[in-house]
Amino acid sequence: MALDLEQIKPLIAAALAEDIGGGDITSNATVPEGACGLAVIMAKQEGVLAGIDVCRQVFLAVDAGLAIEAREQDGAALDLGDVVMTIQGGTRSILAAERTALNFLQRLSGIATATAVYVNEVKGLRAKILDTRKTTPGLRLLEKYAVACGGGQNHRMGLHDMVLVKDNHIEA
C-alpha cells in the first residue's frame, strides 16, 4: 500500500495546530532566535518502522528549510538504538515539530510492530493477517498503511469498497 502524502497534509496541519497553536512559547522563551541544532531520532526498542515520510512531512510543515535524512525505510526491522532519522536546522523549529512527528511515528510503528508479531505467528500457514475498519477516526489511511508496513494485508477502506453482509444487516 502506497501512502499518498497529499492526502495526509491536512491531518498533519490539524495535528500541528492542535499542539503548537499560536506558537511554541517555551522554545521561544528559552532558545535563542536563529539557533541551529541537530536532532537524532533513535529506536528505543526493537520493532518495525512505519510513518517515516509522515514524520518528515511534519518537520517540513513547520520549517521547509530543515535538512532531513531518513536512515531507515518503512517496514524496516529496527533494533534498540538504530538511528531512524536526523534533522538539522533551526532549533526552535525542530522542538516545535518534535512531539507531533514522534506521535505519528510511534503510533504507526507500534501498529506495524504488533502486526508483524501476528504475521510471524501464522508464517507457514494458509492464514493471512487482515486489518479492519475499526480504526481511529481520521487516522484510517495511516493506520492501514502501518498494518501493511508490518506485513499485514488491507481488507477494505470503507463501506464503499465492497459488500460485506454482517449480523447487523441480517438482524435489521
Measured CA distances, 89 to 36, 58, 147 (Å): 5, 14, 32
Number of domains in the chain: 1
Say whether pLDDT at 150 is over 90: yes
Distance CA 167, CA 154 (A): 22
Range of the domain at 55: 5-171
The reply to whether 134 belongs to the active site is yes
pLDDT on residue 169: 76
Three-class SS of 34-76? CCEEEEEEECCCCEECCCHHHHHHHHHHHCCCCEEEECCCCCC
C-alpha cell belonging to residue 128: 493471512
The single residue of 9, 44, 123, 134 carrying the catalytic annotation is 134
| pTM tops 0.85, yes or no | yes
Give the mean pLDDT of 11-26: 96
Name the pLDDT band for 117 (thresholds 50, 70, 90).
very high
Q: In what order do the strands lie in the sheet with 67-70?
A: 36-42, 83-90, 67-70
Name the pLDDT band for 162 (thresholds 50, 70, 90).
low
* Strand intervals (E) in 71-141: 77-78, 83-90
Over residues 47-95, the pLDDT tens digits come to 999 999 999 999 999 999 999 999 999 999 999 999 999 999 999 999 9
Q: Which amino acid type is present at position 128?
A: K
C-alpha cell belonging to residue 24: 511554541
Distance CA 105, CA 75 (A): 12
Pick the range with the lowest mean pLDDT from 13-17, 79-83, 132-136, 160-164: 160-164
Say whether pLDDT at 161 is over 80: no
Measured CA distances, 85 to 35, 55, 59, 80 (Å): 20, 9, 11, 14
Distance CA 100, CA 167 (A): 39
Say whether pLDDT at 129 is over 90: yes
Say whether pLDDT at 157 is over 70: no
R_g (Cα) of the chain, nearest Å: 19
Distance CA 115, CA 67 (A): 31
Give the residue with greater pLDDT, 155 vs 46.
Answer: 46
CATH number at residue 97: 3.90.1170.20
